[in-house]
Structure 1
Amino acid sequence: MNTRETILRAALRVVGEHGVAGLTNRRIVARAGISLGSLTYHFPSQTALLREAMLLFADEEAGRLAELARAHGAAELTVEQAAEVVAGVLARLPASVEEIASLELYLQAGRDASLREAARRCFAAYDELAETVLRTLGVPRPRQLAGPVVALLAGLQLRGLATGEAPTTSTAEALTMLVRGGQETSPPPRDAG
């Protein structure tokens, strides 16, 4: 890993641990094990650093998700089976500082217009993957549905990170209902009490 990438990964960890407001040069150089001069040589501004960190995360996430789509693309999956695969992947994701960092960066893009193009690229990668999967499944209007699918998954992930609780409707069931136009896919679970 080169110095530039080391700095970006350190910045993501610091943002995940302390938030964007806690991103200081001192924390970055301590985490990266580099000099302050090296940091400022590679990234003259915090905005440039945040933008590049967001793009690094987006590129790696898009690659990971594309590989997942390829792995399951050859199989003839139903909408319900695809929703179960997605739910399984999300359930295995740890609430890592990198995940929290990505959410912090998206929020910061809402405050800092110079980060919005990087945020758009991130969401475009998610939308493209969702559209590809939906099209492969034969879902009508995959382009129009891709954004809501991504929003549903991101919202459920955010809710789980924020509350530490599983949603009352499973990810797979919520995704299937969205794709199927709100039709219930199975009887609701009975209350155990």
Structure 2
Amino acid sequence: MDTREKILQAAAEMLAEDMAAKLSVRAVAARAGVSVGSLRFHFPTQRALQDSLLARIYEHLLPGDAIRDRTLPPRERLLNCLRQVLAPLGTREDARTAWGTVYRAFIEPEPTEEVRAAYLRFEREAERRVEHWLTVLEEEGAVSPGRHTRNLRFLLTVLNGLSVERALPSGESVLIAETETLNAAVDHVLSTGPAPPAGPARP
């Protein structure tokens, strides 16, 4: 294993043990058994290390780039991307475990700057993933420009809501309801026109 891989593996292990881990350069270097200078050579900043680690995690969970598979129409591609995000949750027990981990890492503890920074790292990566989909579709003319931010927040909210529903003891088929919601979300994003111009401020 080369030095870069050792560093990423050490950081991943630290994150698996504690989702709120700060992943400081010194701590990760010590865990990987490399010098701080060696780590800085591969990852000049702490942000570069965090971004590379999160990108690796998402590549593992969501292999390939479904949004660029032009053998399918834009609607099916966006739908597949949303399904890929929910896929790791699997069964209700998987979803409960995942949300339990999120609760213990980010909701239960006091909202310190360290906890907030750890959560924002995950949120940033999720935003980048969805923004990438929207950018590709906008370049193809499938999504109207001007609603990027609104569509981004909308899709992330839908994904968060559906992931919570998977963890709850629902009496109906979650997959049927989830499929209907995903279809409605995709239809909304692909049918929205450009954002209206900002009007005068209301009193």
- Shorter-chain-normalised TM-score: which range? 0.5 to 0.7
In 2, the alpha carbon distance for the partners of 1:176 and 1:85 equals 10
Q: Secondary structure at the match of 2:155?
A: helix
Alignment partner of 1:74 is 2:71: yes
Do the aligned partners of residues 91 and 116 (structure 1) sit closer, same or farther apart at CA in structure 2, a change above 3 Å counting? closer
Paired residue total: 163
| Aligned equivalent of 2:84, options 89, 96, 114 | 89
| Code of the aligned partner of 1:147 | R
Asked whether the equivalents of residues 66 and 129 of structure 1 are also in contact (C-alpha less than 8 Å), the reply is no
Asked whether the equivalents of residues 127 and 152 of structure 2 are also in contact (C-alpha less than 8 Å), the reply is no
Report the CA distance between 1:171 and its aligned residue.
Answer: 4.0
| Code of the aligned partner of 2:155 | V
In 1, the alpha carbon distance for the partners of 2:16 and 2:65 equals 25
Do the aligned partners of residues 160 and 29 (structure 1) sit closer, same or farther apart at CA in structure 2, a change above 3 Å counting? farther
Q: Secondary structure at the match of 2:174?
A: coil
Do the aligned partners of residues 137 and 149 (structure 1) sit closer, same or farther apart at CA in structure 2, a change above 3 Å counting? farther
Report the CA distance between 1:145 and its aligned residue.
Answer: 0.9
Asked whether the equivalents of residues 156 and 171 of structure 1 are also in contact (C-alpha less than 8 Å), the reply is yes
| Code of the aligned partner of 2:180 | E
In 2, the alpha carbon distance for the partners of 1:49 and 1:16 equals 21
Report the CA distance between 1:15 and its aligned residue.
Answer: 1.3
Q: What are structure 1's unaligned runs of at least 5 residues?
A: 183-193
Report the CA distance between 1:132 and its aligned residue.
Answer: 3.1
Do the aligned partners of residues 87 and 181 (structure 1) sit closer, same or farther apart at CA in structure 2, a change above 3 Å counting? closer
| Aligned equivalent of 1:174, options 181, 188, 197 | 181
| Code of the aligned partner of 1:54 | Q
Report the CA distance between 1:131 and its aligned residue.
Answer: 1.0
Higher relative contact order (CA 8 A, sep 6+): 1
Task: Report what 1:145 is aligned to.
Answer: 151
Task: Report what 1:56 is aligned to.
Answer: 52
Q: What are structure 2's unaligned runs of at least 5 residues?
A: 190-203
Report the CA distance between 1:86 and its aligned residue.
Answer: 2.9
In 2, the alpha carbon distance for the partners of 1:73 and 1:111 equals 42
Task: Report what 1:20 is aligned to.
Answer: 20
Report the CA distance between 1:68 and its aligned residue.
Answer: 2.1
Alignment partner of 1:11 is 2:16: no
In 1, the alpha carbon distance for the partners of 2:156 and 2:53 equals 16
Task: Report what 1:122 is aligned to.
Answer: 125
In 1, the alpha carbon distance for the partners of 2:169 and 2:28 equals 31
